[in-house]
């Protein structure tokens, strides 16, 4: 499969999150320069500065309102940008909460994690925020995704577990079999949830009834970071430590594709409007991996 890279910023800007927007373009967060970027498939790039260059935009996701929503980890706000580039943001009720993951929920709201304060948040299109406290402290909730069961699923990086929250706020926690695995990214393939274990060098799968499987990577120091599902049993993930993009099937078969530039720090990953896999490289580029039919 063909792999290519496209520069989008200097290495100080830090492309981090990436998603496909409703307008058929790719949207990125520049975590170190406080900007959101829009990238078309033919390479046209527009960037939109936020009101604070230090706000730390991190994960970005399309919302049910046709806009893009993103977390601002450093100034503890949730941001919103329209496809025309109009921005606004909403402060979180809990100070120093450190929002990180964000996803659209089945209830027409956006759901997000608060890493510093052990909470899951919900924000409506008008900015009304509700927070749900997790059991325990220091769990470091990280990525979050909508599951096939109508609930939200999230990783608990320091509690070494996968969490589930219903739209009514009911919470369940599923401990991982591997100690110290430190899960980060999570995605739904429409059947089950897939997640990465950055410290254990494994990919995990959890069914909606809580059954967990783990699949070791060839390089256990690869530090998988983010994951996206293209279809049931067809998932792609970034390997921050191995400088690669990985693929895993339902049976656990893993294939890895090295990135052209060394030490490019791949983080966010998405399936683009062209059906290719795109990854944000924190050193200033995006990578594109053309998929074979059926993969």
Cα(85)–Cα(226) distance, integer angstroms: 26
The question of whether 267 is a catalytic residue gets the answer yes
Q: Find the catalytic residue in 76, 225, 247, 267.
A: 267
Cα 47 off chain centre by: 20
- Sheet containing 193-197, strands listed edge to edge, beginning at the edge strand earlier in sequence: 183-188, 193-197, 202-206, 212-216
Instruction: Please give the angle made by the CA atoms of 73, 78 and 79, to the nearest 5 degrees.
Output: 105
Place of tokens 């949207």: 27
Convert the chain into a string of H (helix), E (strand) and C (coil). Answer: CCEEEEECCCCCCCEEEEEECCCCCEEEEECCCCEEEEECCCCCEEEEECCCCCCCEEEEEECCCCCEEEEECCCCEEEEECCCCCEEEEECCCCCCCEEEEEECCCCCEEEEECCCCEEEEECCCCCEEEEECCCCCCCEEEEEECCCCCEEEEECCCCEEEEECCCCCEEEEECCCCCCCEEEEEECCCCEEEEECCCCEEEEECCCCCEEEEECCCCCCCEEEEEEEECCEEEEEECCCCEEEEEECCCCEEEEECCCCCCCEEEEEECCCCCEEEEECCCEEEEECCCCCC
Length of the chain: 295
Q: Which residues carry out catalysis?
A: 267
């Amino acid at each position: 499969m063909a792999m290519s890279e496209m520069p989008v910023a200097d290495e100080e800007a830090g492309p981090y999150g990436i998603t496909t927007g409703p307008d058929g373009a790719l949207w990125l967060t520049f975590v170190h320069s406080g900007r959101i970027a829009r990238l078309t498939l033919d390479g046209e790039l527009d960037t939109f500065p936020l009101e604070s260059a230090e706000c730390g935009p991190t994960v970005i996701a399309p919302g049910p309102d046709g806009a893009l929503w993103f977390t601002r980890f450093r100034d503890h706000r949730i941001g919103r940008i329209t496809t025309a580039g109009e921005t606004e943001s909403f402060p979180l009720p809990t100070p120093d909460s450190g929002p990180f993951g964000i996803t659209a929920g089945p209830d027409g709201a956006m759901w997000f994690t608060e890493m510093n304060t052990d909470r899951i948040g919900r924000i409506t299109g008008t900015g009304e925020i509700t927070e749900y406290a997790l059991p325990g402290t220091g769990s470091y909730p990280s990525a979050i995704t909508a599951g096939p069961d109508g609930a939200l699923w999230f990783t608990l990086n320091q509690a070494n577990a996968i969490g589930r929250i219903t739209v009514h706020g009911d919470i369940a926690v599923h401990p991982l079999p591997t100690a110290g695995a430190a899960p980060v990214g999570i995605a739904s393939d429409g059947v089950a949830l897939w997640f990465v274990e950055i410290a254990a060098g494994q990919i995990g799968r959890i069914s909606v009834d809580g059954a967990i499987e783990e699949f070791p990577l060839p390089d256990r120091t690869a530090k998988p970071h983010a994951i996206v599902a293209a279809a049931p049993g067809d998932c792609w993930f970034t390997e921050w430590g191995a400088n690669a993009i990985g693929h895993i099937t339902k049976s656990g078969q893993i294939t890895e594709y090295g990135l052209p530039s060394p030490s490019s720090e791949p983080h966010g990953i998405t399936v683009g409007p062209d059906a290719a896999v795109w990854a944000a490289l924190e050193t200033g580029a995006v990578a594109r991996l053309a998929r074979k039919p059926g993969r």
